[in-house]
Chains A and B, each alone.
Chain A
């Protein structure tokens, strides 16, 4: 459902995503893991067409992100890392506005809103203004808003950040249900326990690049570890060690050059 092909994104000289390629299918939960600043959010933003790729491209549900950005957006639901709501609107009004922007209206939209209020357990505050909401309440409304149009491709960027155990469980159950319904769920998270419980396949990003891409079992086998966290640490650690080594080599080479220059 998502095909990423040699995707690169550069921000004024800073390469945030470098030559990333992967494919995902319907009916799976795909983990996009990586330490802070690895480039996960940027990758998601490019796939979701809010940022333009510097090179490479991606396809979502058969639509190209460069040539058919509006079709891509119609078929994708993205929970952004930074959630914000319209404070002077109620939870329901927030959802309704986005529904309208997805060209939904009337009975169908109200039913969908009612369903999401039910599914994400928002009944107590659905008609209160969002300005007074706690992080957890806001997060739930943001999730509902991102999937108001019932998309086939769902991307959640840190959906459980700031949520307590109970609220997290609601969101996790929701992701499982989406998978059962044959949707694709891409999950970007720092919570390895959640990722291990949920993800069928995982991609690990580090320093803008993809450093691992496989099913959980195979990753554990390859790294000879028993849980995803250890596998993650090992893969990222090896990559970081390589970085240190590269830097040392470069410094060494630079030093030789300097010595030569001063020696002569």
Chain B
């Protein structure tokens, strides 16, 4: 077993001198993780402010047919009513962004309203254009307000108190803490990144210690030493696992520090707070590190089939997609409630546990099943790697 440590120490020293490993395993997690996370929040913040500040541009077919409504909208400084358009010209303007919503009224509109009959107004919008959607929502609210005011005025004429219109008063009370809202928010991105770093962190060193050793033609000399193949592959595996784990640890700590020192503050008045508790961080660390160990074994098994760096990268790309695809699918389905079997799928289970932890839902069963499943798969991966390394065909395929 001492030989394993010798191999381990050599591979670590060797890869510390390799810029590629240093960039993917150390620099990327330290800088990329906080930059992407905080960057995403900043972008969302900017987006939210922008849509709040947006002034919808509205056009009518014939303003003269609805003077009351036009005046109501014009008096409200939150809207701009532009010159009349036909429905075709309005559609063209909407595509270009010169117009957000188009209102079409019938010639009898004004008469119907003043007579107290419901009058139709068609609200044209395009749900595939974000600006049109937000404008549509704002205009809908304005139209409802117009409705209400008119109704109140009509009731006043008949001496009926307007309160009669209100049967119930729904009052929403959100008891999610600002922290939980923040956790929900980063729950879409952070778990993906942990899985990603668990793979990417060990990728270069895995290639370097297996295919790289073949490419440099040092493998045979190594096999000629008294160290058994099992001890050699154990040493290499330890080096890959240690590197991948370091990546996970660095990325989580750098994220923790980033949120601590530059807490993203958005929504109005601290509606979202992102703070990772030490408990949350340590569960994420546990899951992340075991996941890194498991992927290290798999990476090593895949890369040894290649004769060169290039070939190894070709083998690892599909493997990488295979691992990351289910993860990105399940983590992008909002409100997806995983059942227990989902916590047995390696990678996917990590995503769900991290998500739960971010919402302060510490489900012991889920955490234990996840850790257990990852451990079992890690052992299988290491077993596969050692089996492959003892086959001479794989090592001497000229």
Q: Which residues of A contact B (CB under 8 A)?
A: 45, 48, 50-52, 70-71, 73-74, 76, 78, 80, 82-89, 97-98, 100-103, 142, 145-146
Contacts and interface: CB of A to CB of B under 8 A. Distances in A.
Contacts, number: 65
Contact of A103 (B217, B223, B226, B392): B226
A142 B216 CA distance: 13
Nearest to A12: B393
Given A51-B396, A146-B224, A101 B3 contact: yes
Interface string B9-32: 010001001100000000000000
B224 A84 contact: no
A16 to B, nearest CB: 11
Most buried by A among B14, B223, B226: B226
B228 interface: yes
Contacts of B2: 103
A22 to B, nearest CB: 21
B225 A86 contact: no
Q: How large is the interface on B (under 10, 10 to 19, 20 to 34, 35 or more residues)?
A: 20 to 34
B217 A101 contact: no
Contact of B14 (A76, A89, A142): A89
Nearest to B10: A97
Contact of B225 (A84, A85, A89, A98): A98
Given A70-B226, A145-B221, A86 B14 contact: yes
A50 B17 contact: no
A50 B392 contact: yes
Contacts of A88: 14, 17-18
Contact of B218 (A76, A86, A102): A86
Most buried by A among B2, B14, B218: B218
B217 A84 contact: yes
B334 to A, nearest CB: 47
B6 interface: yes
B223 to A, nearest CB: 5
Given A50-B392, A51-B396, A70-B228, A84 B216 contact: yes
Contacts of A83: 217
B223 A50 contact: yes
A70 B18 CA distance: 32
A80 B14 contact: no
B82 interface: no
Given A86-B14, A101-B6, A50 B226 contact: no
Interface in B1-60: 2-3, 6-7, 10, 14, 17-18
Contacts of A50: 220, 223-224, 392, 395-396
8 contacts: A45-B396, A50-B220, A71-B226, A73-B226, A76-B224, A80-B217, A84-B219, A86-B218
A85 B14 CA distance: 12
